[in-house]
Copies of this chain bind each other. A is one copy, B any other.
Amino acid sequence: MPSYTAPVRDMQFLLHDVLEVSQAGIPGYEELDRDTTGAILEEAAKLAENVLAPLNPVGDAQGCRLENGVVRTPDGFKAAFDQMREGGWTALDCDPEYGGQGLPYLMSTAVGEMFSAANMAFNMYQGLTHGAYNAIHAHGSEEQKATYLPKMVSCEWGGTMNLTEPHCGTDLGLIRTRAEPQDDGSYRITGNKIWISAGEHDMVENIVHLVLAKIPGGPEGVKGISLFIVPKFLVNEDGSLGARNAVSCGGLESKMGIHGNATCVMNYDGATGFLVGEAHKGMRAMFTMMNEARLGVGLQGYAQGVVAYENALGFAKERQQGRAVTGAQMPDAPADTIMVHPDVRRNLMDQKSITEGARAFVFWGASLIDQAHRSQDKQAEGLISLLTPVIKGFLTDKGFETCVLAQQTLGGSGFTREWGLEQFVRDARITMIYEGTNGVQSLDLVGRKLAADGGKPVMGFFEMVKSFIAENKGADADFDTQFLEPLKAASKDLQSAAMFFMQNGMKSPDEALSGSYDFMHLFGHVCLGFMWGRMALAARKGLEAGGDKAFLNAKIATGRYYMARQLPATSMHRARIESGAAPVMALDAESF
């Protein structure tokens, strides 16, 4: 069975040595001193390591069962969920007005990595509730907030997002679910939704479904979509639970992974719903929910990589097979551990440098969200809006890749259920698909975010990288050659690709969209290169200040690996982008 140890040390390094949170000037951050964050992370680690992680293979093996309309979660899930709720972990960054702890999003991100790494399928139940909380918090009426949010903050009630229908996923304009206005101001919701994560289960008293539907007579397409609250049980005026609403789980999806999470077909048979925000403005509200959800999915992706890497490393340190090519390292043992083999190292260093870089990227992204929300910083908002599809698309691709690499470290054992690596691969796979496939993320990046606000956010990003290089150049020759020069070259590839889009995308949008996926990866690599530059710099400063040598030197060595072995991908992506649309679009559909 796989194990999990939360990377508290690395998280503390990011919070205090890289992001320097307590000096960041973001409201709420001043309280985040090293002891405070350390105490929170250590407590979260205990829950993740001792309660959630052991349930991960259980959830995978048992899955969920639909019995007389009720979904039964795997053995132990309910008790663990109660423990999580009672520990206040579901309320971490929620509004104190509704019972939340009001901590920065950054802290809930750090804790979220742990819970996701420990048990992704389990953690989705509260993750979806949190997403629904966000949407109601941002767009609901005062009455709706008062009715639903306190119970959602405490996760006594769950929440869901209902977008997809059998004939429409990405193209929500095709939605058929109807919402007919009633005399009392409510709506009758009728339709079928599929792939509803946590749509029905036995861990909460009530489930607050957020449902996209069309009010008859409204505009065509996405402009006619409205958002509704449809609770499983209607809520009485005194807050107690009332009648069972006409919404039910019609079936569970059989799927590749995240078996512990119930993926439901949801039937709305004239269910009572309540409009959230304005009629026909549902997409805007949904996007509030989705943007943060996308960051959360990026986190899920690399978090699976984190736990997979840990277990691969554990195996590599134990497994004895073959001899070092430079001579036996453990002459008294029948063989050396496989750590001696350069190709095993290459594999482990890929995993380590990707996951540590990804963590830095997501923590930085979370701090930008805090900056945008807590300091009303428009520049931070523009930047995180630009980076969101990169975090979602690139980090889930890389997280899955890391799981596959980790599985490979174990050889044949990696393919067996017993060792658990194959579950990480199967679970991580969904992160590349849901909350908008990674192809859709790349479309969002190139088709929307790049040109947003006259291109200010992307120009700001280029400027930020350029300044970082300029400000830190010349102090250390190794740092210059190993970090700054590769970062400069990679950033140049990114700018060149963006320029290609600008010059050619005007003539034909296909020229830009044919390269969108490569651009997303190119951008991701530059972000991780930038993160590694910042981390190596922080590590150098730490060493000068007499910090933990083993940890800080390892950080620099891992960064050097990323710059030398991962970053060269940027020139490949650039070449693919600059080959244009012709090779991509040449074939008629019939000639495939």
Contacts and interface: CB of A to CB of B under 8 A. Distances in A.
Contact of A174 (B335, B514, B560): B335
B439 A412 contact: no
Interface string A508-523: 1110011011000000
A456 interface: no
Given A433-B414, A438-B408, A592-B352, A513 B313 contact: no
A554 B584 contact: no
B564 A416 contact: no
Interface string A246-286: 00000001111100000000000000000000000000000
Interface in A303-329: 313, 317, 320-322, 325-326
| Chain A interface helix/strand/loop/mixed | helix
Given A256-B426, A412-B434, A592-B554, A439 B335 contact: no
A104 to B, nearest CB: 31
Interface string A492-515: 000000000000000011100110
Given A335-B171, A417-B255, A437-B411, A584 B341 contact: no
Nearest to A336: B171
Given A170-B411, A408-B433, A561-B583, A589 B443 contact: no
A568 B518 CA distance: 12
Contacts of A339: 589, 592
A439 B167 CA distance: 43
A561 B589 contact: no
A591 interface: yes
A164 B404 CA distance: 22
Contacts of A581: 342
A550 interface: yes
Interface stretch (A13-21, A121-129, A141-149, A343-351): A343-351
Interface string A544-567: 000000100110011011001100
Contacts of A434: 412
Contacts of A186: none
A325 B509 contact: yes
A583 B564 contact: yes
Contacts of A513: 325, 341-343
Contacts of A168: 321
Contacts of A584: 342, 345-346, 349, 561, 565
A346 B577 CA distance: 11
Residue of A164, A349, A411, A517 ringed by the most chain B CB atoms within 10 A: A411
A287 interface: no
Given A256-B422, A256-B425, A554-B587, A342 B438 contact: no
A487 interface: no
A56 interface: no
A345 B443 CA distance: 13
Contacts of A167: 320
A334 interface: yes
Contacts of A195: 412
Contacts of A320: 167
Nearest to A256: B422
A430 B404 CA distance: 11
Contact of A516 (B343, B433, B561, B569): B343
A243 interface: no
Contacts of A560: 583, 586
Given A513-B342, A572-B568, A572-B571, A592 B313 contact: yes
Contacts of A347: 439, 517
A313 B592 CA distance: 8
A415 B433 contact: yes
Given A255-B422, A349-B583, A400-B404, 20 more contacts: A169-B321, A174-B335, A255-B415, A317-B589, A325-B510, A326-B508, A339-B589, A342-B510, A342-B581, A343-B516, A344-B439, A345-B584, A346-B517, A404-B429, A411-B437, A415-B429, A550-B591, A560-B586, A561-B583, A568-B575
Leading 5 A-B pairs by shortest Cβ distance: A568-B575, A256-B422, A342-B513, A564-B579, A254-B417
15 contacts: A173-B335, A174-B321, A253-B416, A343-B442, A345-B584, A345-B585, A345-B587, A346-B514, A349-B583, A349-B584, A349-B587, A404-B429, A553-B591, A560-B583, A572-B572
